[in-house]
Structure formats: structure tokens, C-alpha cells
Amino acid sequence: MIDGRLVAMALMSMLAMASVAEAGEASRRLHIARILTNGDGQSPDSAFRITSAADERDVLAALKVEPRSRSLVLHETKALAKVSAIDEHGGDVVIWFDVDAMAFEPR
């Protein structure tokens, strides 16, 4: 399984080398690095806490996985997104996201 903390450390190192012109992108990378350190995404109890769909896409990109399907799951009292994906070696992985903080609008 992919270790999000190692990816976060690599992203933080990249941030340290960023120029002022890259400040916006560097800030986004730092935000994703922080998300990666708040869990490992391997179970509902260790889901990555996100606040937007962009966070989810960026975390999946940082983990180098390609999403195949996504479902919303109610676990205890939390809303979670369960993403089935393929890792860079072709293996099946499941990544969990805590989406409670996302703003959902009723249709």
C-alpha cells in the first residue's frame, strides 16, 4: 500500500525549493501534504479528511492512483467517499476520504 506520509514528506521537500512565482502551486502542494499526514486512507477510521472535490483529485494524483469508481458510504455518523482505484503497478487499491466537511447542496 502507498504510504501517504512518505508522499507528504516528498511534497514538503518540493515546497521548500519553490520560487515566489510558484507560491500558489506550492501552497496547494502544502495543503495536500497536510491532508496526507492526517490519515492513511486505508480504512474508514483512517480516512483522509478533505473539504473539496479538488482535494480528493489532488490526493489521488499525489498517491499516483487512477480512480475507477467512487461511492458514498455512511460509517457510524460520518459521510465517507470510498474510491476504488488502480495503483501505478496495476494493483487494486481502495482509498477512503472523510467528506463530512464538504459542502453538499441538495438538488
- What is the predicted pLDDT for the residue at 90? 95
Give the three cell numbers for residue 68. Answer: 475507477
Percent of all residues in the chain with a pLDDT value above 90, rounded to a whole number:
58
Q: How far apart are CA 103 and CA 75, in angstroms?
A: 18
Task: Report which of 51, 71, 61, 44 is spatially closest to residue 2, judged by C-alpha positions.
Answer: 61
Residue 73's closest CA among 50, 46, 44?
Answer: 44
User: Sign of the C-alpha dihedral, residues 102, 73, 71, 57?
Assistant: positive
pLDDT in tens, 19-51: 555 667 778 888 999 999 989 999 999 999 999
Note the pLDDT tens digit of each residue in 79-92: 999 999 999 999 99
Q: Is the pLDDT of residue 78 over 80?
A: yes
